[in-house]
Amino acid sequence: MRTVILFLFVLPTLAQAQEPQSVPAPFRLNVLSNPPGAEVYVDSLFAGKTPIRGFTAAGDGPHTVKTAYPEIRQWNAIIQSQQIHAREGEELTLEFEFGSVFSLHTVPAGASVYYQDKLIGTTPLYHRSAESLRSALRIRKEGYEDLSVDPSASGRFLTLKIADGAQPPVTDRGIESSAERAGTRLATYLSAGAMVVSGVTAAYFKQKADHRFGLYASTRSERHLKATRRYDAYSGVALVLTEISFAVLTYFLLSE
């Protein structure tokens, strides 16, 4: 009798333990942003970059969707979050608007940047606004040709081309002279290096020629005599290159 009573108490517990636990059906999540390329985190889990379509997650309970543009690790990142309550098997689409975030650099600097004939700043420019820029930017600077760029060219260095028949402003000529001076310094270093290398080469072949001539003097072998003449020729060519390099180096040093 006691066994029957104990079995009646234990049987419901066993039946409950054997029942499979229900797993919430996933929901599908689509995340879009303007501009695209924003990082997406669902409950702190990285889901990818926008546009994201068909991301699945458990549908039970609220979820937090966080987006960061351009990247969450950058100092200028724009972070937006939204809490959702998705039902099992539901498909949700979220859209985030980040406006415009970009930077532009020009060589030379000081160029005016226009959007739809409206001045938004001068280079170097960091621009951030709630308005999404969907058309090209116009870059203008006196003495240079206008340049049209897409806002997606963020972070690029753009070199402005001098307009035909125009002279760059006096403030910009220092930039060009600096580039010319850098080229002169490079040529000076190269000519100095060539002089050293050719001088060492000339001395090396001269030593080889002297050694072979010593062997020829003791053996009277034509083989050593030919080698002596060959090494002398090599040494002479290297010596000529040394003199040319020295002349070029002197020219660049005096021109500075």
Q: Are 30 and 20 in contact (CB under 8 A)?
A: no
36 Cα distance to chain centroid: 19
pTM: 0.46
User: Can you tell me whether residue 160 is helix, strand or coil?
Assistant: coil
Q: Is the peptide bond before 51 cis (omega within 30 degrees of 0)?
A: yes
- DSSP, collapsed to helix, strand or coil, labels residue 178 as helix
Question: Taking the CB of residue 211, how many other CB atoms lie within 10 A of it?
Answer: 14
* Tens digits of pLDDT across the chain (256 residues): 555 454 455 455 544 555 555 555 688 999 999 888 899 999 989 999 999 999 988 766 789 999 998 888 887 788 999 999 888 788 999 999 988 878 888 988 899 999 988 998 999 888 887 777 778 889 999 889 999 988 777 777 888 888 887 666 666 655 555 556 667 778 888 888 998 998 899 899 889 888 888 888 888 888 888 888 898 899 889 889 998 988 888 887 776 5
Cα–Cα distance measured from residue 229 to residue 209, given in angstroms and rounded to the nearest whole number: 7
